[in-house]
Amino acid sequence: MNRTEGHSMTMFPEELLAIIAKNVAYSLTLIECEVLKLPIYISVRNLLPLSMTSRQFRRICLPLLFTHVKLGREGDLKRLRDQCIDHEDFISFIRALSIDTGIGQEDIGLIPHLLPLLSGLVQLLLNQIPIHTKLLSVIHSHSLNRVVIDSIKYLPKQTDESNSSGLSKIILRHCGFPYRGVDPTDITLESYLGGGMQITHLSLNRPHLMDEGPQMGIFHGLRELKLYLHSMPTDLSWLPNFSRAHPLLQKITFTKMRFVRALSIDAILPFLEAVGQEGLATNMQVKAVALSRELEFSAEGSHDWRVTGMFLQINGSLERILYLASSFFPRISRLTVENGCCTINELIVALGLFSSLVVVGLSSTFSHIDFGIHQPWEDFSKAVDTHCLPIEAPKILGPMIWYASMIADRVPSIQALYIKEHGDDGPTSSTGCWGVRGYIDLQRINDYSSSNPEMLAHCLKYINYFTGSYRSPDLFPGSLLYSV
C-alpha cells in the first residue's frame, strides 16, 4: 500500500481501519506459527509499512507495534523500566513480554520491579530465566494470565502456601519424562502440577512406565504428547484412558519406531498390511506417526483420532508406497520422506497424490541432483548469493529453492517445505562439508522475481546452514523445529 492509497482509506470509519490494522498485525505465515508458537505475536514486518501510509494509520498502528516487546540484550530491561516510568501511556500498549537470558544477571533481578509497572501485561515468556520465590510471588499478585517457561529447572525448588498459587499461571512449554538433565531428587514434577502448573507438550522416553506408579496423573493444559518407541516393551494399553483424562489433548506422536513396533498402532495397521501384501515391507520403514483429533467438532467423549502426519523412510517403490499412504490417509496434512531411491522429480510427482498436505519434510533427497551442464536453478543460485545470505552458502541451496517452487506449483496446498540435508562437495570446493536445515516458505516463493529479490530472502528466513568455514546463527530452538 502506498501513501496515496493510505490517504484515500482515511475516508473509511476508524473502526474499520482498526480492524484492517489488526488483521495485518496478526497475519503470520504458517512457518512463523510453527516456529514461534506464541499466543500473542505481532508481525512488525507487515505492520510498519501500513503505519507509514498516513497519520491516521500511524496512530492506529502505534499501540499494536508495542503489543509484544522482546528483551534480549544487557541493559534492555532497565531501559524498558525507564520508558515505562517516563511515558505512562506506553505502559498500556504492552500485552506480551519476552525476556531472554542475554539481558544479564543484573537485569534479571529487576524483573519483579518491572512487572507491577506493566498493568496491561497478559503474557510473559521467560527463556532460561530463573524464577525465584520473590518473582513467583509477584507473578501471583499480577493480573497476567500466563508465564511461559522452557524447563522446570528454572522454578524454585520449594514453594510455600503464600506464593505457590503463582504456579497456576506457569505454562511449561515442554517436559520430558523421565527427566533429562535434571536431578529428580531436587525437583518433583508432581508438586508443581499440584500447584496448578500446566504442560503443553509432554515427551515420554519410556511410555510403558506410564502404567506404573503415581506418574499416571493429570497434566493440566496438555495439548501434545510424544511417545518414543525405541525400547521394549511397547505396551500402550494405558493410552485410551490417558487421552480421555486430558480433554485438551489434540495430538499424539509416535516416534523412533521400527517396523515391528509400528504394528502396535491400530490406526496404521491396514496401511501396513497393504504394504506387506504387495511385497513392499522391506522397502519402507515408518519412523513416526501423528494422530490428531478436532476437539471443537466432536461430541464430548467421542473424539475420533485420525492419522494427520507420517515420517516414512523409503528405499524403493516410492510412488506405489505413497499411493497407498494417500489412499489410507486422505486427510494427512504432514508428510516427511527420507528418500533413498528416486530423483527429486519423481518424488514431486508422487506428492501430487495427496490433496491435503500443508507441510512436507524432505531428508536425503537432494543428494540425487545432477549438477551437469543443464542447471535451470541458476537464477535462484545467483539470487541466493547476491541478496539472501551474507556468507557463501552450499551450492545445493539454489536447486533446493528451484525445486521448492516446483512443489508449490504441483501441490498448491503445501505452505511450507522443511529440509534436512547434509553432504560434502569435495576437497576442491570452497564450501566442503555442508548442511541445511529449516523451512522454505512456499506461500510466497513464486512471488520472487529479479525486481523483487527481498521476497526470496523472506522465504529463506528460517533456514540454517553450515559449510566447512561458516555456520549461520541458530534462528530457532531445535526442539521446536519440526514434527510430523
Supply the pLDDT for residue 252. 92
Spatial distance between the Cα atoms of 81 and 73, rounded to a whole number of angstroms? 14
Cell 544479564 sits at which residue? 104
In a domain, 236, yes or no: no
Supply the pLDDT for residue 477. 45
Spatial distance between the Cα atoms of 410 and 163, rounded to a whole number of angstroms? 56
In a domain, 7, yes or no: yes
Cell 501510509 sits at which residue? 53
The overall pTM is greater than 0.85: no
Half-sphere exposure of 160 (CA within 13 A, CB side): 4
Spatial distance between the Cα atoms of 347 and 164, rounded to a whole number of angstroms? 54
Cell 527429486 sits at which residue? 344
Supply the pLDDT for residue 379. 64
In a domain, 18, yes or no: yes
CA-angle at 126, arms to 125 and 131, nearest 5°: 130
In a domain, 58, yes or no: yes
In a domain, 329, yes or no: no
Phi and psi dihedrals of 296, rounded to 5?
Answer: -75, -15
In a domain, 44, yes or no: yes
Spatial distance between the Cα atoms of 109 and 133, rounded to a whole number of angstroms? 12
146 SS3 class: strand
Query: What is the residue range of 36's domain?
Result: 1-65
Please tell me the chain's helix, strand, coil percentages from 3-state DSSP, rounded to the nearest 5.
40, 20, 40
Any idea how long the chain is? Answer: 484
Supply the pLDDT for residue 107. 86
In a domain, 480, yes or no: no
Spatial distance between the Cα atoms of 397 and 456, rounded to a whole number of angstroms? 12
Q: CA dihedral in degrees (47, 50, 56, 59; nearest 10)?
A: 20
Low-confidence ranges of the chain (pLDDT < 70): 1-12, 14-15, 18-48, 51, 61-64, 158-165, 178-188, 208-217, 231-233, 258-263, 295-303, 367-368, 370-394, 425-432, 446-459, 465-483
In a domain, 404, yes or no: no
Give burial (CB, 10 Å; 0-12/13-18/19+) of 5: exposed
Q: 256 with 229: CB under 8 angstroms?
A: yes
Q: What distances in angstroms separate CA 94 from CA 99, 135, 144, 411, one per listed residue? A: 13, 19, 11, 40
Helix H or strand E segment including 71: strand 68-71
Structural domain count, the chain: 1
Spatial distance between the Cα atoms of 331 and 327, rounded to a whole number of angstroms? 10
Spatial distance between the Cα atoms of 34 and 11, rounded to a whole number of angstroms? 37
